[in-house]
Amino acid sequence: MAEPIHGARPIVVEEKAGKKAYCMCGHSGNLPYCDGSHSRQQTGVAPIVCEITEDKKVSICQCHRSGKLPFCDGTHKTL
Ligand code: FES
């Protein structure tokens, strides 16, 4: 069983509208998106699936402590 990996900064992406699964375990080879590693490595963590309603820039939390997961709320600056 692998422990989740917590990054120091969000990943900013120009996102297209649609359903997304954002990695919350930190083990994905395709961050910030889930690639199934959370299951293969038995992290006990699941991705956050959400609908992006329009094309826009988003900041995806990598410290996994944001109050607005999967989006960054600046909490990483306080850790
Ligand atoms: S690979 Fe990290 S949550 Fe799925």
Atom from ligand 1 closest to the CA of residue 47: 3
What does the pLDDT look like over 26-45, one tens digit per residue?
999 999 999 999 999 999 99
pLDDT at 11: 98
CA-closest candidate to residue 58, choices 78, 73, 76: 73
DSSP label at residue 46: -
pLDDT at 13: 98
Tell me if 32 CB under 6 Å of ligand 1: no
pTM beyond 0.75, yes or no = yes
Tell which phi-psi region holds residue 26, choosing left (phi > 0), alpha (psi between -120 and 50) or beta: left
Produce one character per residue of 48-72: b if its CB has 16 or more CB atoms within 10 Å, e if not. Answer: beeeeeeeeebbbbbbbebeebbeb
Q: Which residues of the chain, if any, have pLDDT below 70?
A: none
